[in-house]
Amino acid sequence: MNLIKNILKGMDLGDDPEKHTVAVAMSGGVDSSVTAALLNECGYKVIGLSMHLYEHRVEINNKKTCCAGVDISDARSVCDKLKIPHYKLNYSSKFNDKVMSDFTDAYIRGETPVPCIRCNQTVKFVDMLNYAKKLGASALATGHYIKRKMIKGVPNLYKAVDSKKDQSYFLFATTIDQLEYLRFPLGDLEKNETRDLAKQYGLKVADKPDSQDICFVPEGRYSDLVRKLKPHAIDPGAIVHVDGTVLGKHKGIIDFTVGQRKGLEIGGRKGVPDEESVLYVIKINEETNEVVVGPKKYLACDEIEVKDCNWLTNNEEKTLDVLVKLRNTFNPVPAKVEIDHKKNTSKIFLDSPQYGISPGQAAVFYSKKDNAHVYGGGWIDKTQSI
């Protein structure tokens, strides 16, 4: 009962849930399914919304993805179990234009994109959110592990209780206007608690594996997809050492990402000190179609330029001391941020050098005073090597 009371309080929709319809973004996984079940138990009029995202060129039916054909079927089964309406929304064309095309174009530019953020930023929190409003829903709830708190009448984002499942990095681009309408009921739960709840509700997805891959690249072979969708945009080129020596050839810069060590297919360098022999991808040069490699020391970076920033606080400061997360798998590190509000850009000065920072990734800012508080973030545009 305490859980239900806490969820009702967190929904911030008043004391009478029966007066409110709540839409739930249902991917067919355990998290969104439990979200629907919890809100249904709370007494809200719950409706399930699932996105159909793939055109005929990309057929996905993999247990490690979300929003595939099998997942929509699972979402429908859960809705049937809960006796709530279920809608399938065909966003395949929009998803291709706003997410998949952006993904392939970024790889061709030599960047390392994060399509899950683009999906949240566009299709899910624009098209689906607007559809939920058209249905008369008071809010759109998701199964993301993140917390939403109201501070002085403004919604703010905080990390989830379960640090291993926290998804704040992927939600930095959510606007304050979107947060006014969004809800995240699982923010205070551990993942094992969510699975236990799924079993208590008798949901067949209780033991379904978590999605681990990019949904439209289920085996993680990004370059295969890019070659399939844009075969004429990929040319072979040279693999060049930072000292200018040509070490080999590549079949396309899409096969490489900054910081990569394995799969270079050029071997190490002989007759040099150990720290010089192991090579990493240092830079991907789109203009010359070259992959630049070198020792790890050349990956060290202490300044980063960020574009298309999104701030989740009413921040008008020109400088901020923050913790910044530079990849989802990285730990946040201390930095100072210089903000240009007019250009919507920022410059990050790291307290200590970091390695393997790639354009196309996100830089997400957290408060130094409360490292769970998400300030916002932006997209890495340029890096400055030491």
Burial group, residue 36, by CB count within 10 angstroms (0-12, 13-18, 19+): buried
Which helix (H) or strand (E) segment holds residue 382: the answer is: strand 373-385
Q: Which of 42, 66, 79, 215 is catalytic?
A: 215
Q: CA nearest 265: which of 275, 277, 254, 279?
A: 279
Q: What angle do CA 30, 36, 38 make, to 5 degrees?
A: 95
Q: CA nearest 111: which of 362, 299, 333?
A: 362
- Amino acid residing at 102: D
The token duo for 25 is: 């973004």
Strand partners, 294: 280
- Amino acid residing at 61: N
Going by their DSSP bridges, the two strands 333-340 and 319-325 should be labelled as antiparallel
The token duo for 371 is: 């490292």
Q: Is 119 known to be catalytic?
A: yes
Rounded to whole angstroms, the Cα distance separating 215 from 93 reads: 15
The answer to whether the beta carbons of residues 239 and 249 sit under 8 Å apart is yes
Token pair 């247990």 in the structure block, residue: 63
CA distances from 214 to 113, 310, 354 (A): 11, 23, 25
The token duo for 97 is: 């234009």
Rounded to whole angstroms, the Cα distance separating 84 from 22 reads: 11
Cα 297 to the center of its chain, rounded Å: 28
Q: Is 66 known to be catalytic?
A: no
Q: In what order do the strands lie in the sheet with 237-241?
A: 246-250, 237-241, 290-294, 280-285
Concatenating the DSSP letter of every residue in 91-159 gives -HHHHIIIIIHHHHHHHHTT----HHHHHIIIIIIIIIHHHHHHTT-SEEE---SEEEEEETTEEEEEE
Q: Which of 42, 67, 79, 119 is catalytic?
A: 119
The token duo for 147 is: 């917390």
- Give the DSSP letter of residue 228: H
Catalytic machinery residues: 119, 215
